[in-house]
Amino acid sequence: MIKPAFPSNENQRLKSLEDLDIFKSIPEESYDNITRLASFICETPIALISLVNSNEQWFKSKVGVDFTGGERELSFCGHAILEPENIMEVQDTTKDLRFIDNPFTHEDGHGIKFYAGVPLRNEKGVALGTLCVLDRKAHKLTNDQLYALKALGKQVESLFELRRKNIQLERATKNLNETNSVLREFASNVSHDLKMPLANMILTSDFLKIKYKDLMDEEGLERLNYLKQSGLKLSDYISGLLEHYSSSNSSIPTYEEFFLNDILEDIIDLLQIAEDCEISIPDHNLKIYANEVVIGQIFMNLINNSLKYNNQEKIIISIDCVENEEFFTFSVKDNGIGIPPDKLPFIFDLFAIVGDKDRKGKTGHGIGLSTVKKLVTGIGGEVHVDSEVGVGTQFTFTSKKANLLD
């Protein structure tokens, strides 16, 4: 008997098998169907999907045997994986030096006299095991049977690849959930931290107005009133964000009836639009039934984006909304610097930065538009961008009507 050698890529092979997380896994019908077909087509009483690790082979699926594996040094499959691109057929094991005195060859009248195994490779061509058929008498596969065995082996490899991708997806989903949880906690903490300074600002404006009203002219008092109102509006938005994040794990979104132009006017007041900016809102004050906090936050980010990334003497921003039976479709169009074509596919990725500095010479942090994408997705909508460098940008997003989300 000749013990199977170790492949030159043994370390890589074992790492690939470990990453697949399939060794000693529970039985699966999709694999069992393949071994049954292999046994039937090749007219052999035994068919196995065998995986080979550092010191043993284990059967992911089996037909015709009761045991689940054995020592690698006694395995036929340990030899088969040495040539990953070729099927190994041993028509009579009693005449092959590798197996002539193997215990499995002479097992009390039940010894294995025939073996044919096709190596099962991963996406990099590394052999992890075999799909094999065995018989207790000498045997020879026809060309059609050899072809069918190879084809069935490809099906097992497809199952391996699907399993690998599912594992990657599960890991990515877990990482994404953990990241979102950290970001949600961060946003919540920041919002809480802002509440107290805002409260102090509101109270201080009242204090100054009462204590020094006789020393201030009309313009000064108006500015104090504006300071207080801005603080109150910002406080309302922060409260809304806190409510949004605290209920983000709930399956019941918060919907309310509101008028679009009302929240747009509040946002424009809050952003302190300068005289060199012209913002047009819809002529018709459309009644919306949706998540007001989310819609407001999306518009806040998009309008602020249009204000920052604009180098024109006069900033022009146009806001519009249309509705159909399923969606509200909102748009924010500006005459800003535009987005380079090579940046458009990644503009909604977290921490993606266009590269141009804003109107005040500052570089963005790449969070705002990724937040927009997350918020739009959360209300059952989609967001798109059309842009031309030096001409302007239009963001369009949809919100699925509330009655269609029930």
Cα 343 to Cα 355, 365, 370, 383, 386, distances in angstroms? 9, 15, 14, 16, 12
Question: Residue 353: which of 367, 337, 341 has the closest Cα?
Answer: 367
pLDDT digit string, tens, across residues 156-206: 999 999 999 999 888 888 877 777 676 667 666 766 667 777 788 888 888
Query: Which H helix or E strand runs over 327?
Result: strand 327-334
Rounded distance, CA 258 to CA 401, Å? Answer: 13
Q: What average pLDDT does range 23-34 have in this prediction?
A: 95
Cα 2 to Cα 94, 100, 142, 163, distances in angstroms? 13, 9, 27, 34
Q: Are 57 and 69 in contact (CB under 8 A)?
A: yes
Domains and CATH numbers, the chain: 10-172 (3.30.450.40), 251-406 (3.30.565.10)
Q: Which residues pair with 69 in a beta bridge?
A: 58
pLDDT above 70 covers what percent of the chain?
A: 85
DSSP summary character for residue 343: T
Rounded distance, CA 384 to CA 353, Å? Answer: 17
Neighbours of 329 (CB within 10 A): 16
Q: Which residues pair with 315 in a beta bridge?
A: 277
Six-digit token pair at 210? 């009462």
pTM over 0.85: no
Q: Which residue has the higher pLDDT, 90 or 195?
A: 90
- Band (pLDDT 50/70/90 cuts) for residue 251 is very low
- Band (pLDDT 50/70/90 cuts) for residue 375 is confident
71 Cβ contact partners less than 8 Å away, ≥ 6 residues apart: 55, 56, 57
DSSP summary character for residue 361: S
What is the sign, positive or negative, of the torsion defined by CA atoms of 211, 273, 352, 354? Answer: negative
Rounded distance, CA 338 to CA 394, Å? Answer: 9
What pLDDT, on the 0 to 100 scale, is given for residue 38? 97
What pLDDT, on the 0 to 100 scale, is given for residue 209? 83
What pLDDT, on the 0 to 100 scale, is given for residue 247? 46
Q: Which residue has the higher pLDDT, 290 or 162?
A: 162
Neighbours of 223 (CB within 10 A): 12
DSSP summary character for residue 7: P
